[in-house]
Chains A and B, each alone.
Chain A
């Protein structure tokens, strides 16, 4: 196997694999900026994954599947928001509850509907792949950027929209303000809770899409298919220093690590588990280095 033929699919796959991280992290960025630790990303993603493939299977339409799957994730996010904002439950614990609910509910429903707690396959069309001629013409990167499925391109659009919303609109300013000081926002006559609600619903939307991508790519539901991706997305927000572009880079690193572990089996002699542990170790190191840097900077 020569160098070229190995590197290209590695990078090309990484771009596909990074998409669920990227989507979930971009949505999670809104809650993070609004000052809430959103650990429900994992559960919201799982809800989106389950309902999108089930609805796609029932209706025979990918579009309806994605729409209803995303709607389910937004609904679950609304429940999370209602409990944490209106009933004033601890956000962290409500997030745990959402994850637990998602893992229980999806298995219970799969068992009820299909009599099966394992892998459920659906007879649905594949996600269409796109080749955008304008991207193909970009030198060097061109070939890497084409031939992905439609949700990958949609995720890029979402990142751009998110960056615009966060930095160029009053809404984004207020969301960031809520995170910095809810009372200040309140004193300006605004309701910080509304912006927190908006943040949670946005994270429900993007996590729903992230989940849909996981199951629709396989045309099947696998119990606990998200397997920690929501957590990695949360980590990507931190590693990306809470900016959309940082999140793109962090998600790519995680996508690349997973792509590498897929290829490495047999090719390189590193156990897959070590490669899976790698993103977490990198992030914790980055966090420590960052806090050391901050520590000594404030001292001087």
Chain B
């Protein structure tokens, strides 16, 4: 009986997701027909462009990597009923911290600098988000607003360092000095930018899955997410699970920034990480906060970006149509009406 209901839920969820994605694709086609003078070419590149050569395909997967980390970060927080809206600032400051460490370390430290930089990025994100969790635990300050505000302030401060003291006058961009070549992550799919961090992302997703579903901490976090009062009654130290999910969430966001610097950008460019935090929320929602589901959800989000990029390069539309299609998904992904409609229909048949 219970199993049947679970399958029914899964079915409703799957069909609901398919409807959402189907509508977004239909809107993409309509947009292209309206905007493009050669709609067939545009549609071809928008949907199939990312698969036409190794370069596009690899870059698509590479775009997905930071989204895996931010999506995981959001999933952990949401599963525990905590809201981390500071993703943007946590990614960006993590990236800056990694860059600063790698620029400051003497060349002799060799490969050791990499892990140190990633640890620093991780810590930065964890502290920024953890602070919001701390205020929530101590005085009940709304973590949703406070994490957003702290992140918004931090973004400006990071901007200052990138365009001020760390700005490299040698390049025409608003960017820091480049990090040393020994810190570049190994490319695994030339000629694209895809690097070894893809493997790292998969491992981290598996670890987060393990943490949430097979450990004591994960169990208690999920219980607190389901019902905090009941968990308190059951003897769980609920105040600890106000901070812990935020720390893990922030750490994963910071990691996203550090990995993006070492794998793809090799220097902190002003506002390079814009959207990674917000899109992580969409990725987590598509994945229904399941850590393993985050992997395909992130690739899907990256696919829309890659499709729009290919369509822009080979046809006459601009990249931003991806944003419109993504917004349609955003609009519908949490629409309860679609899912409850499906569930109701299922229930009427005994």
Question: B323: which of A103, A273, A283 is its contact (CB, 8 Å)?
Answer: A103
Are B326 and A276 in contact, with the CB atoms below 8 A? no
Contacts of B337 in A (CB 8 A): 86-89
How many chain A residues sit at the interface, stated as a range, is 35 or more
Q: How many angstroms from the CA of A175 to the CA of B259 in the assembled complex?
A: 47
Contact with B along A272-300 (1 / 0, CB 8 A): 01101110110110011001101100000
Instruction: Determine the residue in chain A with the shortest Cβ distance to B36.
Output: A112
Contacts of A276 in B (CB 8 A): 156
Are B160 and A284 in contact, with the CB atoms below 8 A? no
Q: How many angstroms from the CA of A93 to the CA of B156 in the assembled complex?
A: 24
Are B153 and A277 in contact, with the CB atoms below 8 A? yes
Contacts of B335 in A (CB 8 A): 83, 87-89
Question: A100: which of B157, B164, B278, B318 is its contact (CB, 8 Å)?
Answer: B278
Contacts of A36 in B (CB 8 A): none
Contacts of B257-283 to chain A: CB distance below 8 A: 278, 281-282
Are B327 and A291 in contact, with the CB atoms below 8 A? no
Are A108 and B278 in contact, with the CB atoms below 8 A? no
Contact with A along B323-350 (1 / 0, CB 8 A): 1101110111111111010000000000
Q: Considering residues B140, B318, B327, which has the most beta carbons from chain A within 10 angstroms of its beta carbon?
A: B327
Instruction: Determine the residue in chain B with the shortest Cβ distance to A90.
Output: B334
Instruction: Determine the residue in chain A with the shortest Cβ distance to B147.
Output: A284
Instruction: Determine the residue in chain A with the shortest Cβ distance to B141.
Output: A291
Contacts of A173-232 to chain B: CB distance below 8 A: 228, 231
Question: B324: which of A89, A101, A111 is its contact (CB, 8 Å)?
Answer: A101
Are A288 and B146 in contact, with the CB atoms below 8 A? yes
Are A288 and B135 in contact, with the CB atoms below 8 A? yes
Instruction: Determine the residue in chain B with the shortest Cβ distance to A103.
Output: B323
Contacts of B164 in A (CB 8 A): 271, 273
B142 within 8 A of A: yes
A94 within 8 A of B: yes
Are A93 and B323 in contact, with the CB atoms below 8 A? no
Instruction: Determine the residue in chain B with the shortest Cβ distance to A224.
Output: B274
Are B331 and A89 in contact, with the CB atoms below 8 A? yes
B166 within 8 A of A: no
Contacts of B138-161 to chain A: CB distance below 8 A: 138-142, 144-146, 148-150, 152-157, 159-160
Are A273 and B157 in contact, with the CB atoms below 8 A? yes
Are A89 and B332 in contact, with the CB atoms below 8 A? yes
Contacts of B331 in A (CB 8 A): 79, 83, 87, 89, 93-94, 97, 101
Are B139 and A117 in contact, with the CB atoms below 8 A? no
Are B159 and A273 in contact, with the CB atoms below 8 A? yes
Contacts of A87 in B (CB 8 A): 331-332, 335-338
Q: How many angstroms from the CA of A263 to the CA of B332 in the assembled complex?
A: 44
A67 within 8 A of B: no
Are A104 and B320 in contact, with the CB atoms below 8 A? yes
B317 to chain A minimum Cβ distance, whole angstroms, is 8
Q: How many angstroms from the CA of A274 to the CA of B158 in the assembled complex?
A: 10
Given A111-B320, A228-B152, A277-B153, does the pair A104, B327 have CB atoms closer than 8 Å?
yes
Are A294 and B318 in contact, with the CB atoms below 8 A? no
Question: A291: which of B139, B153, B157, B321 is its contact (CB, 8 Å)?
Answer: B139
A15 within 8 A of B: no
Q: How many angstroms from the CA of A87 to the CA of B23 in the assembled complex?
A: 14
A164 within 8 A of B: no
Instruction: Determine the residue in chain B with the shortest Cβ distance to A112.
Output: B35
8 A-B pairs with the lowest CB-CB distances in the bound complex, closest first: A104-B323, A97-B330, A101-B327, A273-B160, A277-B156, A280-B153, A87-B335, A88-B336
Contacts A86-B337, A280-B156, A291-B141 known; list 6 others, CB within 8 Å. Answer: A37-B144, A87-B336, A93-B334, A101-B324, A103-B323, A288-B135
- Jot down 19 A-B pairs with beta carbons below 8 A, ordered by A: A83-B331, A89-B332, A89-B337, A93-B334, A97-B328, A101-B323, A101-B328, A104-B322, A104-B326, A108-B321, A231-B148, A274-B156, A277-B152, A281-B153, A284-B149, A287-B145, A287-B146, A287-B149, A292-B139
